[in-house]
Amino acid sequence: MTILVTGGAGFIGSNFVLDWFKTSDEPVVNLDALTYAGNLANLASLAKDPRHVFVQGDICDRALIDQLLATHQPRALVHFAAESHVDRSIHGPGAFMRTNIEGTFTLLEAARAYWSTLAGEAKAAFRFHHVSTDEVYGSLKPSDPPFAESNPYEPNSPYSASKAASDHLVRAWHHTYGLPVVTTNCSNNYGPFHFPEKLIPLMIVNALAGKPLPVYGDGQQIRDWLYVTDHCAGIRAVLAGGRLGETYNIGGWNEKANIDIVKTVCALLDELRPDPAGPYSRLITYVTDRPGHDRRYAIDARKIERELGWRPAETFDTGIRKTVEWYLANAEWVSQVQSGAYREWVAKQYD
């Protein structure tokens, strides 16, 4: 028994692979293109583990996908691979259309062809698990209830539009061809191995370097924060017991304004790595808001709890402390991912 994971060297994908081997000996074939956000250092602990087979490749490469499916005969395909940064999608939407839409289409067609060759128990057991985002639902007003699985799609950025399109493809391949799929839409993840262009790791890295902590607009954008290993546990639960063709929202029940996140990170750093120059909050700098910035996301995760018994194990207080402590303990990892291209990107985005 084997599973095929796409994007398994990225932030969520690598955490999923590492977490998988804590609870299972089932091998993982890990396909990742190793773009700027894919990092084999995340998987260094598996370097000599025969259960982990890493393949560098593109999910748009149909011949490669066909070969991997035929060779390894996986019982499931767990699809993380995606361009995922809203800011990057605004500056360069083409890569998001290719990876998130064309790539998902390629995987679906390859999976459909492979699944059609299976018989009996193997065919009945196969799953295509599509990992998506709450951003496909658009933005909430302060008084709106959290996103439920039945919410209409109202994507507002090139990133969320491309993910919405991929969700629709997955649904269509189930209803048209009978491909056994499940989809999960998660809220904002945080935790170890998060590339330092996203809010929480960027604040940690900049604060430790004495650099400005850029906060968009008034900082009152609200997100629902989910610790990454809780997300991994939710995916395992849906993969194991989710109903075919169904969508499950995975959220952390932690709505926080961006400015409050930044202040929390500053307070933890004041405690754990005090700066002689003064509180880290002195570095908070408000910058021009990005175009089309959604005001609020929140996930109603009652369906996955009701049907599959999943609920996050971490509170935001426990999860954010673990996250800050991890970055303090892994300065070498941070320095390795801060390439010249990364520094150039941050300067362009927040100048």
CA distances 21 to 52, 237, 264, Å, are 9, 15, 32
247-250 β-sheet, strand order: 52-56, 28-32, 3-6, 76-79, 127-133, 181-186, 247-250
Phi-psi region for residue 71, left (φ > 0), alpha (ψ -120 to 50) or beta? alpha
Catalytic annotation, residues: 134-135, 159
Count of CB atoms within 10 A of residue 13's CB?
A: 28
Which residues touch 119 (CB under 8 Å, ≥6 apart)?
none
Could you tell me the sign of the dihedral formed by the alpha carbons of 283, 284, 288, 291, in that order? Answer: positive
Rounded CA-CA distance 254/311 in Å is 12
Question: What is the torsional sign of CA 191, 43, 237, 294?
Answer: positive
**CA 299, 301, 307 angle in degrees (round to 5)?**
160
